[in-house]
Amino acid sequence: MKKLLIICGPTATGKTSLGIYLAKKFNGEIVSADSRQVYKGMDIATGKDIKSGKWIKNHWEIEGIPIWLLDVVKPNEEFSVAHYTDLAWKIIRDIWQRGKLPILVGGTGFYIKAVINNIPTKGISPNWPLRKQLESKAINILFNELAELDSFRAAQMNVSDRQNKRRLIRAIEVARWRVENRLLPTEKLPQFDALFIGLTAPYPFLYQQIDKRVEERVKINVEREIKRLIKKGYNFENSVLRATIGYKEWEQFLAGKSVLSEVIQKWKFDEHAYARRQMTWFKKALRQAQGKQKQIHWFDIHEKRWQDDIEKKVLIWYTQNNAKKD
């Protein structure tokens, strides 16, 4: 049976590094599941580790390992979960056809859920349980949730829309429907054996890792990257910059309305909150999407030999015989 390895978890847990390591061990290629890294030119703040890599036709190659679905669209182009799903399945099928192991790596749970599910399309009608659940959330939380689902839609909202809870809830409702009910590629999806590896850490440790990364990204001049994007014509009004963590925090600073220390602190806090939302998603929503027969195998990166334990787990799964044919 065809195999699909999935590496998920919150930001700053080293998912891509692990993916590259396992790809070398098991003849694999990486398919990125990161809603921030699909945008061209948005490299530093999103943590796109491409300095040591090279661009080959339509993908990056890092340490000899192909990494797909980075730099897919420009910051002012629409890119939804539906677009991602179509591209991801084309790439996964191609990796299988070449006899390699596709490794889906990322922290965008909506993307991962969209790939592993295949639910027929139906009309977009009101989702009353969802609306009730969302109604209790603050405006900023709703906007962040929409940005994770469909960053382009979030970025296109005007100031009034971003403060309108009813419109935010409806936008989330539509975006979630596209994830949960989109008709995936017309060709029937093959049966595949998926192994879910989740990386985690105690929140205090995770926050320290996040803070270090934010400070490093400020040091290597993310401000210059943002100014370069603006110079190219992408601004906070016409692109995903306003809806993307690592960029949106700079809008007031570049307008002369805040100081650098405030930008850095807000960026750290936004990343902390994002990590918490990711863990909630992976432990609840993604588990439901997988079904009862699947589970995420969690590994704490704060513990010793966690990578060795993962390699053993993957080896057993990868080499086990399966009576079903591909």
State the 10-residue block means of pLDDT for the chain, 326 residues long: 95 97 98 96 93 91 97 91 87 97 94 71 63 89 86 78 84 80 56 94 97 97 97 93 94 96 97 93 69 77 96 95 48
109/19 Cα distance (integer angstroms): 16
CA dihedral 75→81→87→91, nearest 10 degrees, is 110
The end-to-end CA distance of the chain, in Å, is: 4
CB–CB of 206/12 below 8 Å? yes
Distances (CA, A) of 172 to 29, 130, 131, 167, 232: 32, 9, 9, 9, 30
305 vs 5, 209, 301, 318, CA distance in Å? 20, 18, 9, 20
The pLDDT, as a whole number, for residue 79 is 84
| pLDDT attached to residue 122 | 34
Tokens of 112: 């991962």
Q: Are 279 and 202 in contact (CB under 8 A)?
A: no
Query: Residue 117: which of 32, 180, 30 has the closest Cα?
Result: 180
Q: Is the pTM of this model over 0.85?
A: no
> Which tokens hold the place of 273?
């909150």
Report the alpha-carbon angle 307-312-317, nearest 5. 125
State how far the Cα of 222 lies from the Cα of 220, in Å rounded to an integer.
6
Helix, strand, or coil (residue 48): coil
CB-based burial label for 130 (10 Å; 0-12, 13-18, 19+):
middle
Place of tokens 């669209």: 73
**Structural domains of the chain ordered from first start:** 2-118+186-214+279-319 (3.40.50.300), 128-173 (no CATH)
